[in-house]
């Protein structure tokens, strides 16, 4: 079992624990922060703008984070980034308790947190092979992936409970404490130093080479274009989900969201709790599909799986456009999470089958940049549209966009050839 590495290797155990605590704290912070913004403004535009700010550093400096991770001592980078983030969030927790926290402060906070956090993943990936034997790397990578999924289950639910029971200031402070625990774990670790090799291609050179390769391989260009456009219509769920809780499912929409309740199976729960539960259910659907992916889809061709998952995805967004029952919404989110995983695995598998081995590094660098570049646009636009045309209109646009991409891929003969 992959978990044996955690038990047997003290250094990896500390690294994995640091990741787990840090990501759970991040989930607590995000859920509490979004619900507080909705409480203060009731504006989808504000939610969209603030969440988009969180992705901008990944677009601007993300491609260079790996280079810096290769050139600096990982311990210094991880401890420095987490400690600075802990101080920032701790300061704004005190600001919230003092009653002086404003929405504009969160723009600065989310931007700075994201800029510091963008180095976390590439730096962690440079540490793993230093503390483990080569035979354990595959299992470690599985655990590296699972830890974020686990945090998506726990973090939002805890964030909803904390803001329902106490305040946004408490949620911020708990995230700060989580980051300090992460700092302690990394501080205790013994990370072997390695000899620095000559640096190869620059990030810009890699992206340029990747673009040239995609331009020559037409099916890759079509797949990459479709994948990028798909983000424009799928990513908005980050904004639409909390806005649905606040605008559709609360029992007394005219009352303050601090006391607003949502009906679930004959019981009433606070709106913030409903948000945490919803985000946890979405993540649970994604995790469960990932765990049983091979058993579920072993006999399904990758191209067919992609088309089917997109059809279900589009249908679920249409359902959300007309649904006003929270239990049905929660069930839909579970299947939506499964669709997200199915689409991601299918697209990445098609890329793996098509891209030449010597071009994969350059190509996937391009995929990452293109994906992150569209996140802020999708989030900001969906937030604005929520205020202009309402949630049903936004869900319908997303459903139509996904359906259009599905039809486009359905008529690509080259896509079916990849599976043969």
What is the residue-wise DSSP string for 184-238? HHHHH------PPPPP-S-HHHHHHHHHHHHHH-HHHHHHHHHHHHHHHHHTTHH
The DSSP line for 241-259 is HHHHIIIIIBS-TTS-TTT
Q: Is the dihedral of CA 102, 46, 90, 169 positive or negative?
A: positive
Q: Model confidence at 68, in pLDDT bands (50, 70, 90)? A: low
**Does residue 98 sit in the same domain as residue 211?**
no
- pLDDT average, residue stretch 104-129: 79
Residue 346 lies in a domain: yes
pLDDT at 392 over 90: yes
pLDDT at 315 over 80: yes
Summarised one tens digit per residue, pLDDT across range 120-160 is 776 776 777 777 776 766 566 666 666 777 787 788 888 88
Residue 166 lies in a domain: yes
Report how far residue 4's alpha carbon sits from residue 140's, in angstroms, rounded to the nearest whole number: 10
Residue 195 lies in a domain: no
**Does residue 335 sit in the same domain as residue 410?**
yes
Per-residue model confidence (pLDDT) at position 1: 46
**Does residue 110 sit in the same domain as residue 236?**
no
**Does residue 141 sit in the same domain as residue 284?**
no
- pLDDT average, residue stretch 373-378: 83
Residue 264 lies in a domain: yes
Per-residue model confidence (pLDDT) at position 388: 92
Which residue range forms the structural domain that includes residue 247?
201-420
Per-residue model confidence (pLDDT) at position 134: 65
Is residue 267 within a helix (H) or strand (E), and if so which, with residue range?
A: strand 267-270
Assigned token pair, 130:
């230093």
Per-residue model confidence (pLDDT) at position 176: 93
Per-residue model confidence (pLDDT) at position 11: 83
Out of 170, 190, 210, pick the residue that ends a domain. 190
**Does residue 42 sit in the same domain as residue 183?**
yes
Residue 374 lies in a domain: yes
Assigned token pair, 284:
């649970």
**Does residue 140 sit in the same domain as residue 215?**
no
Report how far residue 179's alpha carbon sits from residue 224's, in angstroms, rounded to the nearest whole number: 36
Residue 196 lies in a domain: no
Report how far residue 88's alpha carbon sits from residue 114's, in angstroms, rounded to the nearest whole number: 12
Half-sphere exposure of 190 (CA within 13 A, CB side): 2
Out of 190, 219, 252, pick the residue that ends a domain. 190
**Does residue 244 sit in the same domain as residue 135?**
no
Residue 1 lies in a domain: yes
Q: Model confidence at 203, in pLDDT bands (50, 70, 90)? A: low
Per-residue model confidence (pLDDT) at position 180: 94
In the predicted model, what is the mean pLDDT of the chain? 80
Question: What's the domain count of the chain?
Answer: 2
Report how far residue 212's alpha carbon sits from residue 216's, in angstroms, rounded to the nearest whole number: 7
Contacts of 229 (CB under 8 A, 6+ apart): 401, 405
- pLDDT average, residue stretch 366-393: 84
Q: Are 43 and 102 in contact (CB under 8 A)?
A: no
**Does residue 68 sit in the same domain as residue 21?**
yes
**Does residue 382 sit in the same domain as residue 349?**
yes
Nearest residue to 82 (alpha-carbon basis) of 131, 35, 5, 19: 19
Residue 350 lies in a domain: yes
Per-residue model confidence (pLDDT) at position 340: 87
- pLDDT average, residue stretch 366-392: 84
CATH assignment at residue 182: 1.20.1250.20
Per-residue model confidence (pLDDT) at position 364: 64
What is the value of pTM for the model shown? 0.78
Is residue 152 within a helix (H) or strand (E), and if so which, with residue range?
A: helix 137-165
Q: Are 23 and 148 in contact (CB under 8 A)?
A: yes
Q: Are 18 and 143 in contact (CB under 8 A)?
A: no
The percentage of residues in the chain with a pLDDT greater than 70, rounded to a whole number, is 80
**Does residue 102 sit in the same domain as residue 227?**
no
- Give the residue carrying structure tokens 């058993």: 295
Out of 190, 210, 239, pick the residue that ends a domain. 190
**Does residue 267 sit in the same domain as residue 336?**
yes
pLDDT at 331 over 90: yes
**Does residue 157 sit in the same domain as residue 210?**
no
More confident residue, 391 or 358: 391
Per-residue model confidence (pLDDT) at position 207: 60
DSSP 360: H
């Amino acid at each position: 079992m992959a978990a044996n590495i955690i038990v047997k290797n003290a250094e990896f155990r500390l690294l994995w624990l640091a990741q787990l605590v840090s990501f759970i704290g991040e989930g607590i912070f995000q859920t509490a922060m979004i619900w507080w913004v909705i409480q203060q403004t009731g504006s989808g535009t504000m939610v969209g703008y603030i969440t988009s700010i969180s992705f901008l550093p990944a677009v601007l400096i993300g491609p260079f984070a790996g280079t810096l991770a290769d050139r600096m001592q990982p311990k210094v980078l991880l401890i420095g980034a987490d400690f600075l983030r802990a101080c920032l969030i701790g300061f704004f927790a005190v600001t919230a308790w003092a009653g002086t926290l404003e929405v504009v402060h969160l723009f600065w906070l989310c931007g700075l947190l994201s800029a510091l956090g963008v180095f976390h993943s590439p730096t962690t990936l440079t540490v793993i092979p230093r503390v483990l034997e080569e035979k354990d790397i595959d299992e470690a990578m599985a655990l590296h992936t699972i830890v974020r999924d686990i945090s998506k289950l726990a973090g939002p639910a805890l964030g909803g409970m904390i803001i329902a029971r106490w305040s946004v200031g408490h949620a911020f402070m708990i995230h700060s404490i989580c980051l300090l625990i992460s700092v302690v774990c990394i501080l205790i670790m013994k990370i072997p130093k390695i000899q620095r090799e000559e640096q190869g291609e620059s990030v810009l050179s890699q992206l340029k080479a990747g673009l040239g390769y995609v331009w020559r391989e037409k099916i890759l260009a079509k797949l990459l274009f479709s994948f990028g456009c798909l983000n424009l219509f799928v990513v908005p769920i980050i904004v639409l989900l909390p806005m649905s809780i606040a605008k559709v499912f609360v029992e007394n929409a005219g009352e303050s969201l601090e006391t607003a309740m949502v009906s679930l199976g004959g019981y009433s729960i606070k709106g913030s709790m409903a948000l945490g539960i919803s985000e946890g259910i979405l993540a649970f659907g994604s995790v469960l599909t990932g765990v049983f992916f091979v058993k579920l889809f072993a006999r399904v061709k990758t191209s067919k799986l992609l088309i089917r998952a997109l059809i279900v995805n589009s249908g679920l967004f249409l359902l959300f456009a007309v649904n006003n029952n929270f239990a049905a919404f929660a069930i839909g989110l579970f299947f939506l999470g499964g669709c997200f995983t199915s689409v991601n695995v299918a697209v990445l598998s098609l890329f793996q089958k098509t891209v030449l081995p010597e071009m994969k590094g350059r190509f996937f660098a391009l995929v990452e940049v293109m994906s992150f570049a569209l996140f802020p646009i999708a989030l900001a636009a969906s937030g604005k549209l929520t205020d202009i045309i309402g949630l049903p209109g936004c869900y319908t646009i997303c459903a139509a966009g996904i359906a259009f991409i599905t039809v486009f891929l359905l008529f690509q003969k080259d896509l079916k050839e990849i599976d043969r």
